[in-house]
């Protein structure tokens, strides 16, 4: 285990619990276990199978570390729930419920600020171009970390777009056999953007297409429904 993850293990345990306790009643229902017991099983799996093997991609200096460590809370949840006979689509729905409840708990004024920041295209471009530079510099030091590219102009029909060129979540899934979870993890982006009222669309993923993940905003559109998951809706989005 990299020393960074060992040093932050307690923080990750608290963060995992902050998500999973939001669906504690559902977890107890599907597993037949008390939440405290089940949480410990999930945390044990995460510590042994995730933290032990996560690549170091820049630590707290980069936002992508939180994406990697947080997403795999749900993969460990899924791996434990499978032992209790819970099917993958139910696991995917539990992911959505946890994310949805977490973001719905954000105060309304904070959501308004976030909405304004995502719909001010000029400032958004400026912010993400700086992010591209930071990510590129970090990738030199920590190969395999997130790399992004702001698209100027954006794809036709959209107001703003950027690409993830490298996705550590996808790479880790391939390396350790968690591929089946990736479409559900990608679906959580729709939950997050939807919570802020921001219409995001994606037609490419690093995992499925092997080229990039696209994040495209169409500000006069309605946010997509995220359950059933976007990849099952037959609209060409992922």
pLDDT, one tens digit per residue, over 135-161 is 999 999 999 999 999 999 999 999 999
Same domain, 213 and 128: yes
Same domain, 171 and 95: no
Is-cis flag, bond preceding 34, omega within 30? no
Q: Which residues pair with 164 in a beta bridge?
A: 148, 213
Same domain, 134 and 225: yes
Same domain, 228 and 120: yes
Same domain, 116 and 204: yes
Q: How far apart are CA 64 and CA 172, in angstroms?
A: 13
What mean pLDDT is predicted for residues 22-36?
98
pLDDT of residue 180: 98
What mean pLDDT is predicted for residues 38-43?
98
Same domain, 84 and 134: no
pLDDT of residue 61: 87
Q: Cβ(217)–Cβ(118) under 8 Å?
A: yes
Beta strands in the chain (DSSP E): 147-150, 160-166, 200-201, 213-217
Q: What is the mean pLDDT of the chain?
A: 97
What mean pLDDT is predicted for residues 7-31?
98
Residue 132 has pLDDT above 90, yes or no: yes
Number of folded domains that form the chain: 2
What mean pLDDT is predicted for residues 34-60?
97
pLDDT of residue 185: 98
Domain end position, chosen among 104, 136, 170: 104
Domain hosting residue 218, numbered range:
108-232
Domain end position, chosen among 83, 104, 125: 104
Summarised one tens digit per residue, pLDDT across range 67-102 is 999 999 999 999 999 999 999 999 999 999 999 999
DSSP-based three-state secondary structure for 160:
strand
Same domain, 8 and 90: yes
Render the burial of 42-66: b for 16+ CB within 10 Å, e for the rest. Answer: bbebbbebbbeebbebbeeebebbe
Q: How far apart are CA 179 and CA 174, in angstroms?
A: 6
Summarised one tens digit per residue, pLDDT across range 199-238 is 999 999 999 998 899 999 999 999 999 999 999 999 999 9
Same domain, 156 and 218: yes
pLDDT of residue 210: 86
Residue 63 has pLDDT above 90, yes or no: no
Radius of gyration of the chain (CA): 18
**Sign (positive/negative) of CA torsion 65, 110, 183, 87?**
positive
Residue 237 belongs to some domain of the structure = no
Same domain, 193 and 136: yes
Nearest one of 126, 105, 129 to 117, comparing CA atoms:
126
Residue 32 belongs to some domain of the structure = yes
Residue 238 belongs to some domain of the structure = no
Same domain, 122 and 61: no
Domain end position, chosen among 71, 87, 104: 104
What mean pLDDT is predicted for residues 185-204?
97
Render the burial of 191-213: b for 16+ CB within 10 Å, e for the rest. Answer: bbbbbbebbbbbebbbbeeeebb
Residue 120 belongs to some domain of the structure = yes
pLDDT of residue 127: 96
Same domain, 94 and 161: no
Q: How far apart are CA 64 and CA 144, in angstroms?
A: 11
């Amino acid at each position: 285990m990299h020393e960074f993850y060992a040093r932050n293990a307690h923080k990750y345990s608290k963060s995992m619990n902050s998500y999973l306790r939001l669906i504690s009643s559902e977890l107890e229902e599907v597993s037949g276990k008390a939440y405290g017991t089940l949480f410990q099983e999930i945390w044990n799996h995460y510590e042994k199978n995730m933290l032990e093997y996560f690549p170091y991609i820049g630590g707290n200096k980069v936002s992508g570390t939180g994406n990697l460590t947080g997403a795999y809370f749900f993969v460990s949840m899924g791996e434990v729930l499978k032992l209790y006979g819970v099917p993958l689509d139910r696991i995917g729905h539990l992911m959505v419920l946890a994310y949805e409840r977490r973001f719905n708990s954000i105060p309304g004024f904070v959501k308004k600020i976030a909405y304004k920041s995502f719909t001010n295209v000029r400032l958004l471009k400026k912010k993400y171009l700086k992010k591209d530079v930071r990510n590129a510099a970090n990738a030199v030091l920590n190969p395999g970390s997130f790399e992004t590219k702001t698209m100027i102009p954006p794809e036709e029909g959209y107001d703003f777009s950027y690409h993830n060129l490298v996705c550590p979540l996808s790479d880790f899934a391939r390396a350790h056999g968690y591929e089946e979870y990736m479409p559900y993890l990608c679906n959580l982006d729709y939950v997050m953007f939807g919570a802020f009222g921001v219409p995001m669309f994606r037609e490419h993923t690093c995992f499925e297409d092997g080229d990039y993940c696209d994040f495209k905003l169409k500000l006069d559109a309605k946010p997509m429904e995220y359950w059933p998951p976007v990849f099952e809706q037959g609209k060409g989005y992922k």
